[in-house]
A and B are shown apart, each in its own frame.
Chain A
Amino acid sequence: MPNEAKRAAYAADITYGTNNEYGFDYLRDNMVHSREERVQRGLSYALIDEVDSILIDEARTPLIISGQADDSIALYSQINTVAAKLIAQTEEEGAGDFWVDEKNQSVTLSEQGHEHAEALLAESGMLTEGSSLYEAANITLVHHLYASLRARNLYHRDQHYVVRDGEVTIVDEINGRMMPGRRWSDGLHQAVEAKEGVEIQKENQTLASITFQNYFRMYAKLSGMTGTADTEAYEFNQIYNLETVVIPTHRPMLRKDNMDKVYRTAREKYAAVILDIKDCQSRGQPVLVGTTSIENSELISNLLNAEKLEHQVLNAKQHEREAHVIAQAGRPGVITIATNMAGRGTDIVLGGNPETDIEQVKQDGKLSEAQKTAAIDKLKAEWQTRHDAVLAAGGLHIAGTERHESRRVDNQLRGRSGRQGDSGSSRFYLSLEDQLLRIFASDRVSAIMEKLNMPDGEAIEHPWVTRAIENAQRKVEGRNFDIRKQLLEYDDVANDQRKVIYEQRNELLEAADVGETILAMREDVLVSMMASHIPPDSVEELWDVPSLERELKAETGLDIPLQAMLEDNPDLHEETLRERLLDAANSAYTAKEDLASADIMRQFERSVMLQSLDNHWREHLAALDHLRQGIHLRSYAQKNPKQEYKREAFELFEGLLNAVKSEVTKVTMLVQVKNEADVEAVEKPLEVENLQYQHADYDEALANPADDAPLGEQPQVRAGIKVGRNDPCPCGSGKKFKQCHGVLN
């Protein structure tokens, strides 16, 4: 969408749009080079529809804008062949090269696997003979190898992604929609591409990123609505400070929710589902079959085809038609298979939605008014008969073929039936082979089944079982909440810094004159430069004037005969020398300004600052990313990773500010601009190829320390000198370390 259209949309009293668009527009607004390019005008009040989906499900991953960076593409396919030769362990401590932990979504190489991988890598020439994977030079190899193993063992085709037109497209786990243009980060996407043998695209560099939590918390007032918020009320309160209020229904709810049926095998489960569907269809009752993945949708579709039952499939592959199909899913005897939340926001009206047909008649130019009215009445009457027939058959029936990780999503599926006091029913069919039961609840439920001495093909249906499954879901929900909370805690650090940078950036864009800032920066840089050669309050014997002269010449182009000045003027001391230095710099700068014009100089200053800020911020983001990935290892050094992250991120940020200062000073002092053309040459914004907008995969960063156990076996070496908790803090505040930078929260 062109910027003018976007700006107009935001200038309107009311703006409609998707969560991603709002977030990305915010980030893009903070990448512009002039104030006029911005599209948003402040964040005052936001009303979020399907708030649970946006603030909870989608909040597991941040929004990222990235561009492509240089990367060796051949490496991915080479690593892929190596990863293909490694063998998975069947039990955690058994024989094999690596262990796949589905619960934690992680892969860990065993000792044997390391040796095997090293041998394979050496064989293909990627690793020099005799060197180890642990060496600093091979960190990229390890990173790629893990990415490849994850891609091969945790990411499955048609479940996590689809391959279409020679491209790997991510499928949203929550709603089963395809997300073209989105890519997993950290080389995972390339690893998946290598695995599928499609063309590998270049790795991305993060240009800007934000989490939904931090974006939406910027609104002065925030509210949301949904059908299912109550189970997540605690999280809304904790993270967003939003209270949940259950609003009474207009008419009482009549839907009948049956107990879960649990089978031993998936085969028996599907047979039972088909039987249920057939029964409904024969009675003219519409059925909505809910699945958790495209794969399952297709499986059921095939089974129904075998039975010659007509049906519609709603999944990521047909999103254009979703809304229309779902609107008609309430017609008598219609069978609809849908992934989670397919066609969300569209009501299933019993008897089908007559509005589209009526609208067609209304638009028909050939009919007279009377004919139209007659046709509409006829359509309405037909709908009434259908509606009554469906009601008599018991309303819409929901057949869930699997429990989702979260109770909320199951409730959403159920909620499709029984709208506005209509009758309806629902039932979930499960098997012990389902992922959720297999990982989280199998022991308990298997034990129950064993105790009851169940014959094959028979299902159990008991409140205990339903409760055990709900407990399993609660466990997963709790885990996911922790993931989101951790993501937020880490992002909070970046968020504070982002606020500072964006504020600074906005000031730059707003301000006509940044001359004073430049001056202040210059003085800061010169003072600290001088301090590094002439230590404050030191005797003259310690001064290193020649090297200060050299550095001044190199960094600022100033050629000041300091040594000669000192010899001529024995009274000169530190302070007067500093004054002379600053004066010399200022007059040199004024001379530059005279050569150009004040206007051009101001423009030049601004664009230099803007670019320097942007470039360093981008590098800072990558550095933070890197820091976050390795930070969990700190727990082996008996340190709190979050604490360490905060501390180091702060140091990095300080480094960023200093780097910006010296770069801006250096450029403004060394480069001479004469006219507009010179400024434009500097102003040219960085061209980034192929901007991508994505939701990244954060699992890696937030994974358990256990993931990297082999790395942990090496003794940790402390980088600097150890600072004891009771020692004075190295920052020089005079406080004890434990009360200053080492404070634990």
Chain B
Amino acid sequence: MISTLFKRIFGSRNDRLVKQYAQKVLSINAMEPAMQALSDEALKAMTEEFKQRHANGETLEQLLPEAFAVVREAGKRVLGMRHFDVQLIGGMVLNAGKIGEMRTGEGKTLVATLPVYLNALTGKGVHVVTVNDYLAKRDAEWMGKLYNFLGLSIGIN
């Protein structure tokens, strides 16, 4: 009873988290015009810059808005798909080491590119785990275009 009341006033933890992430989406959206203005080469060069900045002590958390904006722009150019705002939220949930529940057809594969790109900047290797070989191959080939465009290498185990 009390918890229902509490939830009604303050919103559930889920709502609060999502709201918090939605704040960041605004700043990513704000970067969109600047990213659009970059040439393909300049966009690709961002990867090296991020890696450098991370090596110099910037955390992934600090790099997140810019990195996500870069991936979104690259997605538009290479795959012809723009990450929706809710997909950006999904990306942030995944980067935070949580489980994101996304309905069928919401584009989970595309969401994955955001945290994968960001975490690959550390150079320690990111493992994407799928349920079968077919999906591993399909996703690697499909999303590989985007990663390669941004200058990251990709492998299938």
**Which residues of A approach B to under 8 Å, CB–CB?**
1, 6, 8-19, 21-22, 25, 39, 41-51, 53-54, 175, 177, 219, 221-230, 233, 236, 242-250, 253, 322-323, 344-345, 347, 415-416, 418-420, 422
Instruction: Give which listed residue, B94, B99, B128, contacts A16 with CB less than 8 A.
Output: B128
Chain B residues numbered 79-112 whose CB sits less than 8 Å from any CB in chain A = 84, 86-87, 89-90, 93-106, 108-109, 111-112
Which of B32-40, B63-71, B130-138 binds A?
A: B130-138
Chain A residue at smallest Cβ distance from B131:
A50
Cβ–Cβ contact A49 & B130, under 8 A: yes
Instruction: Give which listed residue, B17, B131, B140, contacts A19 with CB less than 8 A.
Output: B131
Residues from chain A with Cβ under 8 Å of B89 in the complex: 247-248
Tell me the smallest distance from the CB of A14 to a CB of chain B, in Å: 5
Can you list 26 A-B pairs, Cβ within 8 angstroms, ordered by A?
A13-B123, A13-B125, A14-B116, A14-B155, A15-B128, A15-B154, A16-B128, A17-B136, A18-B130, A39-B157, A47-B116, A50-B130, A222-B97, A223-B93, A227-B108, A243-B99, A245-B100, A246-B101, A247-B93, A247-B102, A248-B86, A249-B86, A250-B87, A253-B103, A344-B135, A418-B104
Contacts A245-B101, A248-B18 hold; do A15 and B127 have CB atoms under 8 A apart? yes
Cβ–Cβ contact B99 & A345, under 8 A: no
Residues from chain B with Cβ under 8 Å of A46 in the complex: 126-129
Residues from chain B with Cβ under 8 Å of A249 in the complex: 86, 102-103, 106
Chain A residue at smallest Cβ distance from B155:
A9
B120 interface hit (Cβ, 8 Å) = yes
Residues from chain A with Cβ under 8 Å of B137 in the complex: 16
* Chain B interface, number of residues (Cβ within 8 angstroms): 56
Cβ–Cβ contact A13 & B101, under 8 A: no
- 5 smallest CB-CB distances across A and B, nearest first, come from A419-B105, A9-B155, A17-B157, A12-B155, A44-B124
Cβ–Cβ contact B119 & A245, under 8 A: no
B75 interface hit (Cβ, 8 Å) = no
Bound-complex Cα distance A520 to B105 (A): 61
Cβ–Cβ contact A47 & B128, under 8 A: yes
Contacts A18-B129, A43-B127, A245-B17 hold; do A223 and B96 have CB atoms under 8 A apart? yes
Bound-complex Cα distance A44 to B95 (A): 12
Contacts A14-B116, A49-B135, A415-B104 hold; do A44 and B156 have CB atoms under 8 A apart? no
Cβ–Cβ contact B154 & A14, under 8 A: yes
Instruction: Give which listed residue, B14, B111, B115, B124, contacts A42 with CB less than 8 A.
Output: B124
Supply 16 further A-B pairs (C-beta < 8 A) apart from A21-B157, A246-B14: A13-B123, A14-B116, A14-B147, A14-B155, A15-B126, A16-B140, A16-B157, A46-B129, A49-B109, A49-B135, A226-B101, A236-B99, A247-B101, A323-B138, A415-B103, A416-B104
Residues from chain B with Cβ under 8 Å of A1 in the complex: 157
Cβ–Cβ contact B99 & A223, under 8 A: yes
Cβ–Cβ contact A14 & B128, under 8 A: yes
Residues from chain B with Cβ under 8 Å of A6 in the complex: 157
